[in-house]
Structure 1
Amino acid sequence: MSGGLSSLAVASWLHGNGYRVEGFLLDIGQCDRKEFEAFAASVRAAGIPLHSVDARRAMAAAALDVVGFQASYDGGYWNTTGLSRSVIVETVVPRLREAGCTVLAHGCVGGGNDQRRFERYTEHFAPDLTVFAPWRSPEIQQIMPDRASMARHVAAAGLVCMPGNSAEHSIDSNIAGASHEDAGLEDLSTTALRVERLMGVAPDHAPDRVETVVVGVEHGRPATLDGQRLAPEDLLGAANTVAGRNGLGLIDVVEHRVNGTKCRGVYEAPGMELLSHAVRAAHETVTERNASDTARFLSRQLAVSVYEGAAHGLTARAARAGLAEIADRAGATVRLDLYKGGVVGRALLRIDPGAGVVQQRRFSHGGHNWDSAPLSVTASGVPA
């Protein structure tokens, strides 16, 4: 359970119809702790046994991996929803076994990406468990054929979804990002400007000044923010804060789905977007051309694997291995200038020694006399 409408409706229906239900509520940063605890208390008050599991660090670490590998999906968006399914199943399986459960039930609607993701990740992490997909059940389909009927069932049971989820609107969020869905957004003539952001402000509401942030990249991964070495969840949380208040991170795409169709997606991931600019600067500076071409191909393969619920399959493992080999030398300290929804400037303050990159330059030698020397920067951040 995550606080959304469909999983709450399924848990409530199963509990009310005599099934032995154990609820597992994973904190992946989908809301603040106060809202999380209030939701947990309401479920317990309804008589459903509930286990709270803190998976924020695992979710953040997975997101930073994807940023380090530059594995964005169609249109360049960070697929935080698909990534969270892997984290959820891997985290919850040991708890299911401790509770003596033999079935993993989820609330994902029929025919969607997430139904397949949960099935594939359960097959990977716990092939001995049965997956119950509720909207394959004729009985549940008849009782709750749409979101409006789900909402009525939840309300009749005295339950309330987490903020933002209703019959009219669906939010899937975690510490790395949020997705927005509703009937209006399914209409491709509708602009995403109508979306009320969860993780920041729209560019026209961002400050009327440039804000600067410094990101340290080590072995191809974001590691520090403004000189501070932070735990994954704190690093991503701090990046979300600074990027969100400057209007970064919302993207509107039409994506290829697992079942071969297309759909519109509106996603927020301000922290990942911010950190990716620093990672990209480090890679551009130290990675030679053939390796860069290979990395772009592998990044796409990894992104597709995550989207399709195969983040631990052979293709994803091979892509990660190759990307880790290429990214290992990518280290730099990068200053980013943020303004009204964009990264408007960047400067490399430090490049890891031993990168072996040669820079060709001419203006410091009269404008027409070219010189080649190992790339480096001075203490002021100006190329040496």
Structure 2
Amino acid sequence: MKQYKKVVLAYSGGLDTSIIIPWLKENYGCEVIAVSADVGQGTELDGLEEKAIKTGASKIYIEDLKKEFVEDFIWPTLKAGAKYENYLLGTSFARPPIAKRLVEIAKKEGADAICHGCTGKGNDQVRFELTIKALAPEMEIIAPWRIWNIKSRDEEIDYAEKHNIPLKITRETNYSKDKNLWHLSHEGLDLEDPANEPKYDKILELGVSPEQAPDKPTYITISFEKGIPVALDGEKLDGVTLIQKLNELGGKNGIGLLDIVENRLVGMKSRGVYETPGGTILYHAHEVLETLTLDKETAHYKALVAQKYAELVYNGQWYTPLREAIDAFVDKTQETVTGDVKLKLYKGNIINAGTTSPYSLYSEDIATFGADEVYNQKDAEGFINLFGLPLKVKAMLDKKNKH
């Protein structure tokens, strides 16, 4: 194998990256610099510095990316209304800011290569590497899962035990998880069979199942300015704090559980269970506000754009001209998406409880079933005659041809 002097490793302290440090040193004889990105995974970062150094890293960077993650990646995706197969893209848009910081540190340290612990079956390898190619096209990339002789997570645990590497998981709790400020994903073990109902009582970390949620509803009001959530119940909050508070409120009310079989970029189907309590609330509130503030043609076209935006994010194509161009379109649509959305959270449900906006296009005077002075119902006759003219002409022709 090609030899490297210094490698920067995307390090989470999980199973994959824990064994990669000694594996890199064994196979390349290189210095390993670990980089851990704090995108809101909380206690998962505890003890990382000591563990990285003990397992062979020369140093470790622990970078707080939460603010950048929210403002530069989550908010644009929320404003776009992007969902991939009904999934709110929790892992997908966390990878570009992490890879961006990896590139910055690799350049600073004069590293020969960047290494990641993504498997050859997953989407994350694409997301990391496309970002690296976009920001540092000259940088070498090492992906151990595509070249080593380890074939399973069980064999990874064997390697860790042989090298005395401490792990936080066991063979029985060896779910593949990804946690950040926005979501928590669960894959593997019994979840690999779509016939199995998830063991929510065992796997949930951000909240509870709807059955375990309180019998009393929780009311909240979210305020938006130009498509960005800025306050909760009248209190101005930064993005990180707002999401954290909504995660807590949504989690305790059983909000944001998703069990899907999705189509991975690499071609296979994958079953995953996702917890996105705060994000689910924000998407719902944003969509409700847009029903008031966007005209029909813009709203319908934006839905088409949202689909493409979601595919770009899911496929790791964040740093592309098309994503930037769509952002420009989305930002224009968000100029009037300002207002308050009141919601009722109850046992997994998000129920609308009232929406207001200074830019509302809804007119009670026009829409009313009562008497009004602004709409002449007789005008509808001419509209229907013109709107239905192609149908009428076609029917007349069909009738003529039958004779």
Structure 1 match to 2:206: 199
The equivalent residue for 2:140 is 130
Q: Which one of 42, 50, 60 corresponds to residue 31 of structure 1?
A: 42
Q: In the alignment, is the contact (CA less than 8 A) between 1:361 and 1:372 conserved in 2? A: yes
- Alignment of structure 1 residues 229-378 onto 2, 5 Å: 229-348=236-355, 350-352=356-358, 355=359, 357-361=361-365, 367-370=369-372
Counterpart amino acid of residue 371 in structure 2: N
Q: Deviations over 1:322-371 (max 9, x none)?
A: 111112211111111101111123212x312xx2624245797xx44246
Q: Aligned AA for 1:184?
A: D
CA radius of gyration, larger in: 2
Q: Aligned AA for 1:55?
A: L
Amino acid at match of 1:21: V
Q: What secondary structure sits across from 1:198 in the alignment?
A: coil
For 1:369, the aligned partner's letter is A
- Residue type at the aligned position of 2:189: A
Find the aligned partners of 2:79 and 2:169 in 1 and give their Cα distance: 31
Bigger drift between 111-120 and 187-196 goes to 187-196
Q: Deviations over 1:232-261 (max 9, x none)?
A: 211111111111111111101121211232
Unaligned 5+ segments in structure 1 are 374-384
Q: Distance between the aligned counterparts of 2:102 and 2:275, measured in 1?
A: 25
Counterpart of 1:328 in 2: which secondary structure? helix
Residue 381 of structure 1 corresponds to which residue in structure 2?
none
Aligned residue for 2:371, secondary structure, equals: coil
In structure 2, what is the Cα distance between the partners aligned to 1:114 and 1:8? 17
Residues 12 and 45, structure 2, Cα contact 8 Å, conserved in 1: no
CA contact 1:336–1:345 (8 Å) conserved in 2: yes
What per-residue deviation string (whole Å, max 9, x for no partner) do you get for residues 7-55 of structure 1? 22212311344221111111111133xx413132222233312111111
Q: How many percent of aligned residue pairs carry the same amino acid?
A: 27
* RMSD of aligned residue pairs (Cα, Å): 2.2
1:46-93 deviations in Å (ceiling 9; x for gaps): 33121111112222222232222211110x211111111111111222
Q: Verify the 8 A CA contact 2:127 2:316 in the aligned structure 1.
A: yes
Q: Which amino acid aligns with 1:182?
A: G
Contact preservation (8 Å) 1:150, 1:167: no
**Aligned equivalents of 1:340, 1:163: Cα separation in 2:** 31
Given residue 344 of structure 2, which amino acid in structure 1 is its aligned partner? D
1:197-217 deviation line (CA, Å, top 9, x unaligned): 121111111111010111001
Aligned pair 1:176/2:192, yes or no? no
Aligned amino acid, residue 330 of structure 1: V
How far, CA to CA, are the matches of 2:204 and 2:374 in structure 1? 47
The equivalent of 2:127 in structure 1 is 117
**TM-score scaled by structure 2?**
0.84
CA distance in 1, matches of 2:360, 2:40: 40
Q: Deviation of residue 115 (structure 1)?
A: 1.3
Q: What residue ranges of structure 2 are gaps of 5+ in the alignment?
A: 1-10, 376-403
CA distance in 2, matches of 1:2, 1:221: 30
Q: 1:214 to 1:356 in 2, by over 3 A?
A: closer
1:158 lines up with 2:169 in the alignment:
no
Amino acid at match of 1:205: Q
* Matching residue's letter, 2:363: Q
Q: Cα distance 1:193–1:66, how it changes in 2: closer, same or farther (>3 A)?
A: farther
Task: Identify the residue that residue 17 of structure 2 maps to in structure 1.
Answer: 7
Question: For the residues of structure 2 that align with 1:108 and 1:275, how far apart are their CA atoms?
Answer: 29
Structure 2: distance between partners of 1:270 and 1:52: 26
Question: Structure 2: how far apart are the matches of 1:269 and 1:7?
Answer: 25
CA offset at residue 104 of structure 1? 0.8
* Cα distance in 1 between the residues matched to 2:234 and 2:272: 35
Q: What is the alpha-carbon distance in structure 2 between the residues aligned to residue 314 and residue 164 of structure 1?
A: 43
Give the counterpart letter for 2:45 in structure 1: F
CA–CA distance in structure 2, aligned partners of residues 22 and 299 of structure 1: 38
Instruction: Specify the code of the residue in structure 1 equivalent to 2:311.
Output: V
Residue 133 of structure 1 and its aligned partner are, at CA, apart by 1.2
Distance 1:249 1:284, change over 3 A: same
Match of 1:378 in 2: none
2:53 maps to 1:44: yes
Shift of 1:157: 3.1
Q: Which amino acid aligns with 2:51?
A: S
Residue identity matched to 1:30: Q
Residue aligned with 2:311, SS: helix
Partners of 2:324 and 2:374 lie apart in 1 by: 38
- Candidates 66, 73, 82, aligned match of 2:84: 73
User: Which SS does the other structure have where 2:30 is aligned?
Assistant: coil
TM-score by length of 1: 0.88
Aligned to 1:20: 31
